[in-house]
Amino acid sequence: MTEVTTLPSKDDIVKALEAVHDPHVPVSLRRMGMLREVNIADDGTVSIQVCIPCMGCPGAGMLRENVREAVLAVPGVSKVMVEEGWHLPWSRDMIEPEVQDMMRANGIQV
């Protein structure tokens, strides 16, 4: 008998990614404006685009692995492909206002 696997939804993936934080600020990639695209193929492969705001970020490799691990834990995901880079536009305006306030309160210039 063939086992039927239900594909995850985009919401399932985004929810799993809430546990993946910016390497410098304990806030999710989504709230920092770094999560760009989430695509789910029929075979369970999830493709994710993550913007890396600072050129040469030493945490980029760790971030990529954390994204991969979080998404692989979602039922129905068979493979994860993470595209990250500086070619994806990012600005401080993409950070959620509440996060900007928290950063300012902690002495981080936004």
Q: Is the pLDDT at 1 greater than 60, yes or no?
A: no
Name the percent of the chain lying above pLDDT 90: 68
Q: Would you list the domain boundaries of the chain?
A: 10-105
| pLDDT, tens digit (0-9, with 9 covering 90-100), for 37-72 | 999 999 999 999 999 887 777 888 899 999 999 999
> What SS3 class is residue 104?
helix
Rounded-to-integer distance, Cα 55 and Cα 15, Å: 27
pLDDT at 43: 96
Structure-block tokens of residue 85: 């880079």
Q: Which fold has domain 10-105?
A: GMP Synthetase; Chain A, domain 3 (3.30.300)
Rounded-to-integer distance, Cα 27 and Cα 4, Å: 35
